[in-house]
Amino acid sequence: MESSTISITYKTAARDRPVSAVRVRRAASDPRRGWLTADGWTVPVALGRGGILANKREGDGGTPSGVYHPLRLWWRADRHPRPKTYLPVRAIRPEDAWCEDPRDRHYNQPIRMVRDQAGDRLTREDHLYDFIVEIDHNAGPRIAGRGSAVFLHLARPNFSPTAGCVSMTKSSMLRLLRRMGPRTRIMIGE
């Protein structure tokens, strides 16, 4: 009896891999609004009240131009099931916050806060931070005053400007998360 070998090759569909790049560009009609494009689909986004800026500074309200990478997804596990993504994921706890004080040695890093301490708390009453994609803006090396807490997060219902982040609808965020990995380039204003 003769044996035969059957070779089967499985192809991974493009949609089963992270996208290589996500582009964020300002809208022609309003510098505080923009478009995010990834893998052939485009969605509206809100940008910082200062528009896209090449020389980002703390408190200027600008969304920093440049090429960044996503570091991890922070999400409100008390409100939503864990989303599908190629990114490292961390549930947001009540004590989680972000240091925005350029004088602090923890500037532009996650911190743990006590109840009445000031800072950018990640557990908000609204839903803006239900999903946060932390990016590597001003991360290596961190430079005091060059901007902190620049995230991709959920937009307000009226798409009003952010303090410098890129925000979108929940459905757009979940779709993007399914295709985003640590090597995805986030090209803002490029």
pTM of the model: 0.89
Could you say which DSSP state residue 162 is in? Answer: B
What are the Cα distances from residue 56, in Å, to 9, 45, 52, 171, 184? 48, 19, 9, 29, 22
Average pLDDT over residues 109-133: 88
Classify domain 17-188 by CATH number: 2.40.440
Predicted confidence at residue 190, as pLDDT, reads 64
Instruction: Tokens for 81, please give them.
Output: 């099931």
Residue 40 or 5, more confident: 40
- Which residue type does 25 have? R
Percent of the chain scoring above 70 in pLDDT: 91
Instruction: Tokens for 12, please give them.
Output: 């991974």
